[in-house]
Amino acid sequence: MAENSPRRVAIIGGLRIPFCRSRTRYAECSNQDMATAALKALVERYHLQGQRLGDVAIGAVIKKAVDWNLARETVLGTSLSPQTPGYDLQRACGTSLSATLQIGHKIALGEIEVGVGGGTDTVSDVPIVYSDRLRKILLRAARAKTFGDKLKAWSTFRPGDLKPAFPGVVEPRTGLSMGEHCELMAKTWQLTQQEQDELALASHQKAAAAWKEGFYDDLVVPFNGADRDNNIRPDTSMEKLAALKPVFDRSSRGTLTAGNSTPLTDGAAMVLLASEAWAQSHGLTPLAYLTYGEVAAVDYVDGAEGLLMAPAYAVPRMLDRAGLTLQDFDFYEIHEAFAAQVLCLFKAWESEKFCREKLGRDRPLGSIDQTKLNVKGGSVALGHPFAATGARIVATLAKLLAERGSGRGLISICTAGGMGVSAILERP
């Protein structure tokens, strides 16, 4: 470990390819195709050709077996020096924020001078595997020493064994999807569909305005025929959203619809981080600095917590370490896995009972100024390629702080498995 005090971690910038609904523009693209496109663009933007970076951390949630060394293969697909190492990691929807934090830790400790954190995900090019019965037959046949033993292994084969197995985005311990879990949270916190639709509408309106004003022009690079995110609905309205039926609880009690939930999305995003000395030596001005990070997990299996409520714990812990309050921010980038998740967080932080019993605090964290929330659109509008969302948010927030000239931003991301990842970005 480094003996000196931690160094400041500079965010130089970030790039992504457009986020596209699954089975549209990137239907034939792999995780590596998208990750390589995003990393290549980052290398070209910051003139990193031939340079050896300290490390590159990239993750994906839905991966094929061939992607076992995704980060390293992505590096080798660019013009970076082949001496640049890379490693994979995965923390569901918090993957690329965790990757960014890990690279930041290495820089802060003096282990490396510069690195990249990012993520990629496709729901279009998913791994389709043999059924478990057929897999076992194939393995038994492969182990067989004689022709008779091979026939014996195949004697148990049935036509139904050919049915392929598709990956499911469900919690292994409950069998429920994230949407079903979030529907339970919405009931716990007594959210209405109208409240969720209002947040979703604002997300689309802000994203559409951001694209129109050119905010994303230098954050998004064209790829495979797409030049902008294709999920944004600038013409949506409360009337259109209200007409949509619940999708996770189809009874009259359901409130989560396709309109106030993130769509299945493909995409990739990367963030370049460095020490101040490295940035200065390369003539680059940091957009912002990564100052704090925190992770948390909750017990959702026994019904004690909501699956996506871990940020309700991660953020307060991080605030305490930073000596800040929830109101001490100029921007709030809270991942909209579902509009309900964001609203549940707000209600928890505003609840005296929750903050006293769950967080051990004398008083609630309070509310935020929602005019500062996801000001350039959130995941409901922009889309959510699971492992890429964190890097998308970091790049967006860093640019916002740079344009403002100073300030502080809060990042909060919920993940599958009952976890949450949070971070603070600052520009002095």
Which residues does the annotation mark as catalytic? 93, 384, 414
**Residue type for position 265:** T
H or E stretch at 380: helix 379-382
Helix/strand/coil for 403: helix
Distance, CA of 162 to CA of 160 (rounded, Å): 5
Which amino acid type is present at position 295?
Answer: V
Task: Answer for the pair 261, 179: CB distance below 8 angstroms, yes or no.
Answer: yes
Give Cβ neighbours of residue 121 (< 8 Å, ≥ 6 apart).
31, 60, 61, 62, 265, 266, 267, 268, 385, 386, 387, 388
Burial classification of residue 3, based on how many CB atoms lie within 10 Å of its CB (0-12 exposed, 13-18 middle, 19 or more buried) = exposed
Residues 129, 141: Cα–Cα separation, whole Å? 18
* Cβ contact 415:119 at 8 Å: no
Rg, the chain, Cα only: 22
Q: Which amino acid is at 178?
A: M
Task: Name the nearest CA neighbour of 243 among 227, 257, 224.
Answer: 257
> How far, in Å, are 170, 245, 335, 336, 391 from residue 256 at the CA level?
16, 8, 16, 13, 26
Rounded CA separation 266/351 (Å)? 36
CA-CA-CA-CA dihedral for 382, 348, 118, 208, to nearest 10: 20
Q: Which pair of tokens denotes residue 197?
A: 């639709």
Contacts of 90 (CB under 8 A, 6+ apart): 59, 60, 61, 63, 387
Q: Residue with structure tokens 């037959």?
A: 137
Of the candidates 165, 175, 170, which has an alpha carbon nearest to the alpha carbon of residue 135?
165
One DSSP character per residue, 270-331 reads EEEEEEHHHHHHTT---SEEEEEEEEEE---TTSSS-TT-THHHHHHHHHHHHT--TT--SE
